[in-house]
Amino acid sequence: MKTIAPFSLKDFELTQDYIPDPLVIYNLKTGISIRVNKEACKFTEFSREELEGKPILKLPILLKSDLALISEKIKMRAQKKAVFPYGIKIKTKSGKILFVEINGTIVKDGADYLVLIFFRDVTKKIMLEHALIREKEKFEKYINIADVMILSLDTKGNITFLNYRGYDLLGCKNAESCYKDKKLIGKNWFNNFLPKRITGEVNIVFDLLMKGKTKQTAHYENAILRLDGKEKMILWCNTVLKDAEGKITGTLGSGMDITKQKEDESALEEKINQLKKMNELMIGRELRMVELKEKLKK
């Protein structure tokens, strides 16, 4: 078992208010809060009298929703098990809810085992994380209702992101489930989802993107190979992804299915060819008729 550091509560009284973090000390055996420092009072807006001498689970700063977690941590600490750090919410005297990270250590003061608990305010960090999650969810909703494939590749051509429409276009039987389970993340795009006949050609386009030559590759169309072996023709709009230092870390492409348009173009081209042949026949016939009429005149 880890050696427990000796501690003197009497000596601590002289230095407690110089500790920059909020601190609560409780007796491991009784579970009673015996000391709080000046910073803890300032942070929670409660006085020493309101925080000291109370069972740790009945401190006015604790929320009911966190009591089960804290109780479990206290039991684990009583068994000398490692429990720190962990996060909870606390309520200040004015009713403000703060997110805090709890750290601590167990010390021995004579025959008593004491637990020193330090609070660190992580409210801004948590709020930022929540905001990022909301933005991510909003972004994912947007890209998943878009009728285009959104595909992100790393520098080696491995898939790092694929939206719902992407899974659908690639022929996943249950696109929604595949998207949630990230079934194709990590797969190499060039080895798995391109017809072999165009792999080299598309690799050249990818290499140009990796070199930052986006003007030549901003728009490009090529066939993709579905999981069922069928092909789709996709029109791509490409750009590169960069890190904070400006280094290219991959590509981001939005792809539109233009298979039907291509088929229509082919059908139209065939019809035009047929019309041209018909015109040639008609012109030939007219010329022949003119020739015959001229002969009749003679």
pLDDT in tens, 270-298: 776 776 776 666 556 556 666 776 666 65
Cβ neighbors of 224 (< 8 A, separation 6 or more) are 169, 170, 193, 194, 195, 231, 232, 233, 234, 255
Average pLDDT, the chain: 87
**Strand partners of residue 91:** 97
Q: How far is residue 9's CA from residue 228's CA, in Å, rounded to a whole number? A: 72
Q: In the chain, pLDDT over 90 holds for what percent of residues?
A: 51
> Which tokens sit at 154?
């790393």
Same fold, 5-121 and 147-257: yes
Domain 5-121, CATH: 3.30.450.20
Burial of 141 per CB tally in 10 Å (0-12, 13-18, 19+): exposed
The tokens for 232 are 């789709």
CATH number for the segment(s) 147-257: 3.30.450.20
Read off the pLDDT of each residue in 172-185 and give the average, rounded to a whole number: 92
202-214 per-position pLDDT tens digit: 999 999 989 988 7
Mean pLDDT of 175-194: 95
Pairing between strand 149-154 and 219-225?
Answer: unpaired
pTM (predicted TM-score): 0.59
Percent of the chain with pLDDT over 70: 90
DSSP sequence for 181-247 = HTTTTT-BHHHHSS-HHHHHHHHHHHHHHHTT--TTTSEEEEEEE-TTS-EEEEEEEEEEEE-TTS-
The amino acid at residue 16 is: Q
The more confident residue out of 293 and 63 is 63
Question: Where do the domains of the chain lie?
Answer: 5-121, 147-257
How many whole angstroms separate alpha carbon 136 and alpha carbon 235? 26
Residue 14's pLDDT band (cuts 50, 70, 90)? confident
